[in-house]
Amino acid sequence: MKYTWLLFDADDTLFDFARAEAMALKNTLEQTGLAFKPEHVGLYARFNQQVWSEFEQGKLSSQELRTKRFQLFFEGAGLAGDPMTTSPLYLQNLALGTYLLEGADEVVHSLKKRYQLALVTNGLKDVQRPRLEGSSLHDCFEKVFISEEVGAAKPERTYFDRVFENIGNPAQEKVLIIGDSLTSDMQGGLNYGIDTCWYNPQNKTSTLALNYQINSLRELLSLL
């Protein structure tokens, strides 16, 4: 067995974040008395992706991220919402989004029998922990590393240093990271010298020297 540890990203790798995000936004706007429109989903997602990119680059703190995305969204949507009161309600709704991507439950439970698994996610603890605990994957990971708790984010070396310290400092060639993000998961893995597996269901292209590329999570069962 080549690997002893598999590091799984959470959102858009195992969890259907787009679905959870859309439902959380709709419920939050309606609960605060604001009119929800279907086009709000794409608008919010764009601003959310922007602030998470700034967070990964160290330009924003997790606290700043929480409100800035709603400041941008309300301005862009022309809504008179309050980011300070909207953000915590949105996080409560997002924490309920335990939807998994196709094959995630089957694949993770199968791999758990042969490997040690850790969840490595750039996320907020009051969203990620309840979502994991409320899902069918709640008992599959020996370790969970949430950027807000770690104090660093993928692709920072400090993040991976703390992951390795907490999983017993295995040899780098014994660890594989699996994720959908080229900028955080794949670049972080490459920078740290561990093998990488890009989950790429949309058949995007990349010039990164990745070890593996899969279109379906079930491909992991024959790959590993």
Query: Active-site residues: which are they?
Result: 9
Q: Packing angle between helix 83-94 and helix 17-31, nearest 10 degrees?
A: 130
Residue 41 corresponds to which tokens in the numbers above? 């989903």
Buried b (16+ CB within 10 A) or exposed e, 17-44: beebbbbbbbbbbeeeebeeeeebbeeb
In three-state form (DSSP H/G/I as H, E/B as E, the rest C), the secondary structure along 34-89 is CCCCCHHHHHHHHHHHHHHHHHHCCCCCHHHHHHHHHHHHHHHHCCCCCHHHHHHH
Residue 3 corresponds to which tokens in the numbers above? 């690997």
